Amino acid sequence: MDMSDTQALFPAPPTKAPDQASQVSDATLLDNIRSFVAPIARDAAAVTDDPRAVKVARDLSEVFADHAGLTGMTRTEVEHAMARRGHTDRALFDSRFDLFLKMGLIKPFLEKKSQSRYVLVPSGMVGLLVFERLGTRGGVEEMMLLLDRTRWLIETGEADRTTVAKHLKRCRQMLSVYAATLSRLITTASIGELMDEHRNHDPSRVEADVHLLNSLVTDRFNSDHELGELAFQLVKAELAYRHQVLAAVDRVLDQGGASLDFSVLTPEQYLSAALDGSLEELAMVAERLVVDPPGAWLDPGSVLDALDEFRPRRRVATRPPEPVGGAEVDPIAVMQEQHDRLARQRRLAIESRLANAESVELTGMLHDLGWPAAAVQLVDLLGVSADPEQPFIVRLGEELLADAEAPVTYLHPVVLYRTPSVEGEVRS
């Protein structure tokens, strides 16, 4: 199989990827980043296992970039902006914000104890972009950049001999590592995982870059045998790398064809084969299928059962049942029953919000509900608080929270308390 066939089966990634972060899940992104961070990690828990942390970091950087202006944002402003993006887990936000502040991703605008405004450090946002690129394609893009930069250094004469030798050696090492990784996946991975990994690679571009690099070294340093040997070793590493890329394709085609796994090719490729392929080529698709069409077979019992099932039925008229008279319904009792049921439902709802606690802050919940749902919820809470039979009290704070961009523009702090049931107790 030549390289043109390989590229037709599994198209190489485009030179300008549309959105690297959207190509893989955040969980896969963390798996790829973990090996990248390993050389400088203190322990195995250096990278979080919670994929939500990636979304918090990504959204936090965008919030600072879009709303901070020149003087930064307060923590409350950041939290409200994150809530508008769908982040409602306050514990997660607090833990990540404190960690980012401790590690220097977020810094106070002024170095004062009373400082309450923060800004995002640019290197942190750049690091997030680098992590997403590395995590999406497993670092293959960095190998391509290294080959391009080595070629540029030689063409422009910006590097001395030592730097050129260092870059040639590093390019060879990168190709050898990727060849070994592909060899491991060919032996152990499923064909789906192997196809996903193969789509990260562009062997035609690697071959062109390596051969061009070898020609440049031969022309510019024709009398330097050490650099010539390094360039030759780079070509050998590229051949081994390309061999593993082809072996990955062979294994996908062999296993996918033997198991009739039709997910190996895309729907467009099957359509092209149906339109352009010959009858002989299309017949090869089903040459291993065994077809044993069932014959029609009936016994007398089956025929009798079918006749009994489909025989028309006679409809027999029956007298409808007489209505059963009942006692008159007491409307007062019905209203009392409805009131008791509604009070019980409200109490269960409030118990679920307290979750065995003695009090709970409801300001954030009302803020996220929006208008008019927040008003309806607040009226229900005040109604329960005014009911002497319910062991709950709602306190409204004197502080006025105003946010022109929020769903609820004006709001006072709202706290729900549980009151113990004591005879003779007067609630205020």
Among 129, 131, 110, residue whose Cα is nearest residue 119:
110
The predicted-structure confidence for 141-150, as pLDDT tens digits, reads as follows: 778 888 888 8
The predicted-structure confidence for 15-64, as pLDDT tens digits, reads as follows: 444 344 345 666 766 766 676 667 766 677 777 778 788 888 888 888 88
| The predicted structure's pLDDT at residue 37 | 67
Q: How far from chain centre, in Å, is Cα 109?
A: 32
pLDDT > 90 fraction of the chain, expressed in percent and rounded: 2
The predicted-structure confidence for 62-91, as pLDDT tens digits, reads as follows: 888 887 777 788 888 888 988 888 888 889
Cα gap 30→47, rounded to integer Å: 8
| The predicted structure's pLDDT at residue 292 | 63
The better pLDDT of the pair 390, 57 is held by 57
Return the amino acid letter for 367: H
| The predicted structure's pLDDT at residue 378 | 76
CB atoms within 10 A of CB 90: 13
The predicted-structure confidence for 172-228, as pLDDT tens digits, reads as follows: 888 888 888 888 888 888 877 777 777 778 888 888 889 988 888 888 888 888 888
Q: How far from chain centre, in Å, is Cα 29?
A: 8
| The predicted structure's pLDDT at residue 293 | 63
The predicted-structure confidence for 226-281, as pLDDT tens digits, reads as follows: 888 998 998 999 999 899 888 888 887 777 666 555 666 667 767 777 788 888 87
| The predicted structure's pLDDT at residue 56 | 86
Lowest pLDDT segment from 66-75, 102-111, 147-156, 347-356? 347-356
Across the range 332-356, mean pLDDT stands at: 79
Residue 159 exposure: Cα atoms within 13 Å on the Cβ side: 18
Q: What region, left, alpha or beta, does residue 138 occupy, with left being phi > 0 and alpha being psi -120 to 50 degrees?
A: left
Residue 202 exposure: Cα atoms within 13 Å on the Cβ side: 18
The predicted-structure confidence for 395-413, as pLDDT tens digits, reads as follows: 777 777 776 676 666 677 8
Question: Taking every pair of C-alpha atoms in the chain, what is the biggest distance, in angstroms?
Answer: 114
Q: What is the mean pLDDT of the chain?
A: 76
> Do the beta carbons of residue 219 and residue 162 sit within 8 Å?
no
In the chain, what are the domains?
A: 21-134 (1.10.10.10), 139-258 (no CATH), 337-418 (no CATH)
Q: What is the DSSP string of 127-155?
A: HHHHHHHHHHHTTHHHHHHHHHHHHHHHH
